[in-house]
Amino acid sequence: MNQINHQVRLAARPDGAVKPTDWARTEEAVPAPAAGQIVVKVLYLSLDPAMRGWMNDSKASYIPPVGLGEVMRALAVGRVVASNNPGFTVGEHVTGLLGAQEYAVTDGAGLFKVDPRLAPLPVYLGTLGMPGLTGYFGLQDVGKPNAGDTVVVSGAAGAVGSVVGQVARIKGARVVGIAGGADKCRYLVEELGFDAAIDYKRENVAEALARHCPKGIDVFFDNVGGDILDAALTRLARGARVVICGAISQYNNTTPVKGPANYLSLLVQRATMTGIVVSDYYPRAGQAMMEMGGWIRAGKLKTREDIVHGLDKFPKAFDMLFSGANHGKLVLQVAAD
Amino acid sequence: MNQINHQVRLAARPDGAVKPTDWARTEEAVPAPAAGQIVVKVLYLSLDPAMRGWMNDSKASYIPPVGLGEVMRALAVGRVVASNNPGFTVGEHVTGLLGAQEYAVTDGAGLFKVDPRLAPLPVYLGTLGMPGLTGYFGLQDVGKPNAGDTVVVSGAAGAVGSVVGQVARIKGARVVGIAGGADKCRYLVEELGFDAAIDYKRENVAEALARHCPKGIDVFFDNVGGDILDAALTRLARGARVVICGAISQYNNTTPVKGPANYLSLLVQRATMTGIVVSDYYPRAGQAMMEMGGWIRAGKLKTREDIVHGLDKFPKAFDMLFSGANHGKLVLQVAAD
């Protein structure tokens, strides 16, 4: 193919926040696909908080760590540009773990075909991708909101949280979102139809939860951990369900994770805290994508992507996840389709 | 009746460990029972870790705090010595919240009749009382052990823990108990039939759990919180159930409760942490007591009580709960039957 493949590799395991020197840029020729292989041109890369965990040398995770020197693991959407595999045709679009690079050579295992006529490609990395499925299944299968319940979601303006809140509304719940900054809070209430939003950067979260959840919190969907999780625990309603999806406030810690000091509220309120991992639900992904696709077309489920351009911006875009600088699902456009 | 009623009252709200000056001794004449009332002579008082929580001025608990100057709330077994209530006959034995005193004057609400011919009276404060029901329902309804599962219980030699472990064995699980001291550990394995015991005072709990639970922990029943909860979280099996029953290691804290720093294992292992309060199960208590009574008679469920004598020993006995000095269910005998 005589193409150059630029790549971002894990050069060092970060201690705390990721530094520029933890990444290495490499380039190599794109090989011709062997029998059974395809070459996918990466168009959009997904930036997700979970990636920070994949960089740690942790034995006890749900997925092995990225090896030092390996291309950084990343979800992506791309287009098949060469195929030696009868299951894939040049020109088809696929999504999966293509990695932080311009071209992926793969046997196609774990890839799903996507249709750019049904939704713009970046949506397959957000609402119709891993984050959206996380919110859809985590809320419904574990949070189990009833009509009239009060659902609170942290990281509410993010790719997962915005789906959680909107699906909870569709199911008839009252929804309160916690996000950082007036812009995000306005977006939640005015554009996504949340009943209320709490700006954790300016408000006392515990007081605001008391005000917005006078009957307590029936479902707390947590993406952030730390002080916000602790504040929510103090406001649980009897029989509440706490869904542990992530803890972005703790991922860059150099000190031990801050455990939820108020966890004994689980006892007082006979409440449950349950962790979820989206891959458990992949067998039902097709059905979920169809339902969410219908909601998107009906205007009930809104998507928003924040698109950064160029693989060379990968480290900078990655940092945006942790500063909360992105508005909507953070996507890196690697190439035009 | 011309009887003197000696009492132990809450004199001050403790800050950290309970001091002798937090208690006050009072005495007053036992009044004749008014219409609808009975007088119960208290025979055995129960000492339970939960009592420490009742002494705090906490709004967010499952039961209101004991008021300053009030007789300390306590479960007890007694005998009806005077009755102006057609539901109770002099000579009958009853159990309920009779308080830390020699005589209780009550309308009988919340009292249950017990039969000293079926089990010794102190057993109605332990295995056939609140702690036993806590273990029976918390393990089975929330922990849901399957045959072959590995069940780990902390505070295993205590009134709740010893029931949890033995019921788990009856249900076909492998059982590992965590307790303090070689005597208690020997008791768990040699007398109660636990598969293994970990002495948290001498062993590294995380390492010992790794050794005794090679396939991970399916059910962790926690009575102690703190470092032991954190150690157990690192060893959860996929889909584990963590039952939060109490946190005796944290009740005397003057600093904030130590939250479980390893709570993200819930996510990695798709595990659940659920709090329980025994009173939710009282409607099914009769059935549970019948089944446990049968196990006791069949020699499958062993009970052990550690009996301290004299109401004047109440403060000292209370302290034994937190030093772990008691072996078996801690009971204060107030009077002979």
Instruction: Map out the domains of chain A as residue ranges.
Output: 4-126+304-333, 130-279
In chain B, what is the straight-line distance between the N-terminal and C-terminal CA atoms, in Å?
Answer: 18
The string of pLDDT tens digits covering residues A253-285 is 878 888 999 999 999 999 999 999 999 999 999
Determine the CATH number of domain B4-126+303-333. 3.90.180.10
Q: Which of A247, A325, A334 is nearest to A43 (CA)?
A: A334
Q: Answer whether B42's CB lies under 8 Å from B122's CB.
A: no
Q: Answer whether B313's CB lies under 8 Å from B332's CB.
A: yes
- State the count of interchain CB pairs (< 8 A) between A and B: 107
How far apart are alpha carbons B151 and B220 in whole angstroms?
A: 6
In tens digits, chain B (337 residues) has pLDDT values of 568 999 999 999 999 999 999 999 999 999 999 999 999 999 999 999 989 999 999 866 778 999 999 999 999 999 999 999 999 999 999 999 999 999 999 999 999 999 998 899 999 999 999 999 999 999 999 999 999 999 999 999 999 999 999 999 999 999 999 999 999 999 999 999 999 999 999 999 999 999 999 999 999 999 999 999 999 999 999 999 999 999 988 888 878 888 999 999 999 999 999 999 999 999 999 899 999 999 999 999 999 999 999 999 999 999 999 888 888 899 999 999 8
Of A245, A259, A272, the CB nearest to B272: A272
Q: What is the pLDDT of residue B254?
A: 79
Q: What are phi and psi of B6, to 5 degrees?
A: -85, 145
> Are B259 and A256 in contact (CB < 8 Å)?
no
Question: CB burial class (10 A; 0-12, 13-18, 19+) of residue A238?
Answer: middle
C-alpha neighbours within 13 Å on the C-beta side of residue B177: 33
Q: Answer whether B45's CB lies under 8 Å from B331's CB.
A: yes
Of A245, A263, A277, the CB nearest to B260: A263
How far apart are alpha carbons A246 and A261 in whole angstroms?
A: 17
Q: Answer whether A71's CB lies under 8 Å from A100's CB.
A: yes
What class does CATH assign to A4-126+304-333?
alpha beta
* Structure-block tokens of residue B33: 């029972």
How far apart are alpha carbons B239 and B271 in whole angstroms?
A: 5
Q: Give B166→chain A minimum CA distance, Å.
A: 23
How far apart are alpha carbons B273 and B271 in whole angstroms?
A: 7
**Closest chain B residue by Cα to residue A279:** B270
Q: Answer whether B121's CB lies under 8 Å from B77's CB.
A: yes
Q: Answer whether A103's CB lies under 8 Å from A82's CB.
A: no
E strand or H helix at A190: none
Q: How far is CA A308 from the centre of its chain?
A: 16
List residues in chain A touching B: CB distance below 8 A. Answer: 60-62, 225, 230, 234, 244-247, 250, 256-277, 280
| DSSP 8-state symbol, A101 | B
How far apart are alpha carbons B234 and B269 in whole angstroms?
A: 10
Q: What is the pLDDT of residue A60?
A: 62
User: Could you give the 3-state DSSP secondary structure of residue B294?
Assistant: helix
How far apart are alpha carbons B1 and B31 in whole angstroms?
A: 7
Q: How far is CA A314 from the centre of its chain?
A: 16
* Structure-block tokens of residue B220: 């962790």
Among A224-228, A246-250, A290-294, which stretch is predicted with the lowest mean pLDDT?
Answer: A246-250
**Closest chain A residue by Cα to residue B274:** A272
How far apart are alpha carbons A178 and A199 in whole angstroms?
A: 6
Neighbouring CB atoms inside 10 A of B95's CB total 24
pLDDT tier at A126 (50, 70, 90 boundaries)? very high
Q: Which residues contact A95 (CB under 8 A, 6 or more apart)?
A: A75, A76, A77, A78, A111, A112, A114, A124, A125, A129
How far apart are alpha carbons A228 and A302 in whole angstroms?
A: 25
- Which residues in chain B are contacts of A259 at CB distance < 8 A? 230, 258-263
Neighbouring CB atoms inside 10 A of A35's CB total 7
Q: What is the pLDDT of residue A78?
A: 98
Q: Which residues contact B298 (CB under 8 A, 6 or more apart)?
A: none
Q: Answer whether B224's CB lies under 8 Å from B154's CB.
A: yes
Question: CB burial class (10 A; 0-12, 13-18, 19+) of residue B308?
Answer: middle
Q: What fold characterizes domain B130-279?
A: Rossmann fold (3.40.50)
| DSSP 8-state symbol, B44 | E
Neighbouring CB atoms inside 10 A of B153's CB total 35
Domains B4-126+303-333 and B130-279 alike in fold:
no
- Which residues in chain A are contacts of B275 at CB distance < 8 A? 264-272
Q: A137-157 in b/e burial notation, b at 16+ Cβ within 10 A?
A: bbbbebbebeeebbbbbbbbb
